[in-house]
């Protein structure tokens, strides 16, 4: 009988890290765009702080993966929390002196944490048996359920704690990183054993990425994450923008409020919608692994792509409060099936000595796509069309070609597998 005791202990630590440390990600995704909108000289650059977070994650993915390959997961995770701490300090300073470039620098440094955060799912698989692996990945992702509750609520408590909006939020993020780093003292993942001089070196990066299952896993993971980010990044701007244009709430609910009070009302609504979205991202993780084991990873990934398409359709159908909630919940659910499925497929198709090379390359591509999506999000939202409603529609229309790419690649892989079996 296979003993997964060590793997289950590591999963518990990683779930706690996902819940506590991971809370900073929805916090920053709620406030960074709004803070950027107040600091930037051109509103087309409002979401640039989020883009810088993801750019930092993309550029640090390979170095962080290499650190983990050489020194172990714990060292890499400590590097991540250090980056998160420094990023929040610099971001808070940028807010304090109203400097957009310094605020962007802090956002870029925060990307180091986001990169390390992305490796929690792979760390869950390191000590797990083949049968427990998809469940381990899924359980760790489920830790984001608590992050989805904690993060947006902390935004409500801290966004206006100081005269400078969102400064309290960044101070809170500093504390989260310092305290959360202590969790990694309890993780028990052995350092990778250096290969012997005459041991196989593993496939090159080119050979890995041209392996059909790996290529499709990277494409589907990239598309799932990028489209989720594309829409989520614009959501706070769309909620606030559509609210002030009179399309989101009936006048009876905003009558008598000052502009400042209305703004706070819509920021709180945006936080609630993002909270519902992040709940949908992680709540299904309690059973996603079981679904993968029962129905196959390809079917679950395909279902995720279909649900992402449904999210876009709901968003295009109107800008009432219900449309935002339903679209963002579907967006989270589609991301869960697509991204966890892609992670599971990738984790089973490379050897342990290829781990640092493959996982770093995967996250470089994934977060590269997410960086482009977050850059495009602000431009589509604020600079296409003449109103927030038209900008929101442009964001959701942009999903279509990428859904076709992911769905087409998955269908190709499934047909290829059937032909090989026949």
172 close to 178: Cβ distance less than 8 angstroms = no
Label residue 159 by pLDDT band (50, 70, 90): confident
The domain tally of the chain equals 1
Label residue 279 by pLDDT band (50, 70, 90): confident
User: Tens digits of per-residue pLDDT, 228-246?
Assistant: 989 988 888 788 777 655 5
Tell me what percent of the residues of the chain surpass a pLDDT of 70.
91
- How large is the average pLDDT for residues 250-269? 64
User: Tens digits of per-residue pLDDT, 70-106?
Assistant: 898 999 999 999 999 999 999 999 999 999 999 999 9
Label residue 357 by pLDDT band (50, 70, 90): confident
pLDDT of residue 251: 52
pLDDT of residue 404: 96
- How large is the average pLDDT for residues 27-31? 85
Q: Which residue has the tokens 């996250």?
A: 363
Beta-carbon contacts of 178 under 8 Å, excluding residues fewer than 6 positions away, are 81, 85
153 close to 26: Cβ distance less than 8 angstroms = no
How many C-beta atoms surround the C-beta of residue 41 within 10 A?
7
187 close to 73: Cβ distance less than 8 angstroms = yes
Asked whether residue 201 is domain-assigned, the answer is no
Asked whether residue 281 is domain-assigned, the answer is yes
Label residue 195 by pLDDT band (50, 70, 90): low
pLDDT of residue 333: 95
Asked whether residue 199 is domain-assigned, the answer is no
108 close to 59: Cβ distance less than 8 angstroms = no
How many C-beta atoms surround the C-beta of residue 325 within 10 A?
17
Asked whether residue 197 is domain-assigned, the answer is no
pLDDT of residue 402: 95
pLDDT of residue 303: 96
pLDDT of residue 409: 95
pLDDT of residue 224: 95
- Tokens at 392, concatenated: 């929101």
- Tokens at 34, concatenated: 């709004």
**More confident: 349 or 216:** 216
- How large is the average pLDDT for residues 29-51? 82
- Tokens at 294, concatenated: 């029962």
State the first-to-last Cα distance of the chain, in angstroms, to the nearest integer.
33
Asked whether residue 194 is domain-assigned, the answer is no
pLDDT of residue 62: 84
Asked if the model's pLDDT at residue 361 lies above 90, the reply is no
Residue 42 carries which DSSP code?
S
How many C-beta atoms surround the C-beta of residue 398 within 10 A?
18
| Lowest-confidence region among 239-248, 265-274, 330-339, 365-374 | 239-248
Label residue 1 by pLDDT band (50, 70, 90): low
d(CA 241, CA 247): 9
In whole numbers, what is the pLDDT of the chain averaged over residues?
86
| Lowest-confidence region among 130-134, 183-187, 314-318 | 130-134
d(CA 86, CA 214): 34
Label residue 383 by pLDDT band (50, 70, 90): confident
Q: How many helices (H) and strands (E) does the chain have?
A: 18, 0
| Lowest-confidence region among 30-39, 291-300, 405-414 | 30-39
User: Tens digits of per-residue pLDDT, 207-232?
Assistant: 888 888 999 999 999 999 999 989 98
d(CA 377, CA 359): 26
Beta-carbon contacts of 51 under 8 Å, excluding residues fewer than 6 positions away, are 371, 374, 375, 378
**Domain of 283, in residue numbers:** 5-188+206-421
- Tokens at 353, concatenated: 């000595």
Asked whether residue 193 is domain-assigned, the answer is no
Q: What CATH number has the domain bearing residue 61?
A: 1.20.1250.20
pLDDT of residue 90: 96
Short-list 55, 73, 166, CA closest to 112: 55
Asked whether residue 195 is domain-assigned, the answer is no
How many C-beta atoms surround the C-beta of residue 88 within 10 A?
28
Angle between helices 388-397 and 297-316 (to 10 degrees): 160
pLDDT of residue 256: 61
Short-list 126, 24, 124, CA closest to 80: 24
Evaluate if pTM is beyond 0.85: no
Asked whether residue 238 is domain-assigned, the answer is yes
């Amino acid at each position: 009988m296979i003993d997964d005791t060590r793997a289950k202990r590591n999963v518990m630590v990683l779930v706690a890290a996902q819940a506590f440390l991971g809370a900073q990600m929805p916090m920053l995704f709620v406030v960074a765009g709004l803070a950027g909108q107040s600091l930037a000289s051109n509103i087309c650059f409002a979401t640039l702080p989020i883009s810088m977070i993801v750019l930092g994650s993309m550029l640090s993915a390979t170095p962080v993966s290499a650190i983990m390959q050489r020194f172990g997961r714990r060292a890499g995770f400590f590097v991540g929390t250090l980056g998160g701490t420094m990023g929040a300090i610099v971001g808070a300073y940028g807010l304090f002196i109203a400097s957009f470039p310094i605020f962007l620098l802090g956002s870029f440094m925060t990307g180091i944490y986001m990169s390390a955060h992305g490796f929690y799912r792979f760390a869950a698989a390191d000590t797990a048996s083949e049968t427990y692996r998809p469940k381990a990945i899924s359980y760790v992702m489920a830790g984001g359920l608590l992050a989805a509750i904690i993060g947006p609520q902390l935004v409500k408590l801290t966004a206006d704690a100081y005269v400078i909006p969102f400064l309290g939020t960044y101070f809170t993020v500093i504390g989260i990183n310092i305290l959360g780093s202590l969790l990694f003292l309890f993780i028990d993942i052995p350092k990778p054993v250096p290969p012997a001089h005459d041991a196989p070196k593993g496939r090159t990066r080119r050979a890995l990425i041209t392996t059909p299952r790996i290529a499709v896993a990277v494409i589907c993971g990239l598309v799932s994450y990028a489209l989720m980010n594309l829409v989520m990044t614009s959501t706070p701007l769309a909620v606030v923008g559509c609210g002030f244009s009179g399309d989101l709430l009936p006048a009876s609910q905003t009558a008598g409020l000052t502009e400042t009070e209305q703004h706070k009302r819509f920021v709180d609504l945006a936080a609630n919608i993002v909270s519902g979205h992040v709940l949908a991202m992680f709540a299904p993780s309690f059973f996603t692994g079981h679904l993968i084991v029962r129905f196959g990873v390809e079917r679950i990934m395909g279902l995720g792509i279909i649900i992402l398409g449904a999210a876009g359709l709901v968003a295009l159908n109107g800008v009432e409060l219900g449309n935002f909630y339903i679209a963002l919940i579907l967006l989270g659910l589609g991301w869960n099936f697509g991204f966890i499925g892609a992670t599971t497929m990738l984790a089973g198709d490379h050897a342990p000595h290829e781990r640092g090379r493959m996982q770093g390359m995967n996250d470089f591509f994934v977060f590269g796509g997410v960086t482009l999506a977050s850059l495009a999000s602000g431009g589509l939202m604020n600079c296409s069309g003449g109103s927030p409603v038209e900008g929101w529609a442009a964001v959701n229309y942009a999903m279509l070609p990428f859904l076709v790419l992911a769905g087409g690649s998955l269908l190709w892989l499934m047909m290829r597998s059937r032909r090989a079996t026949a």
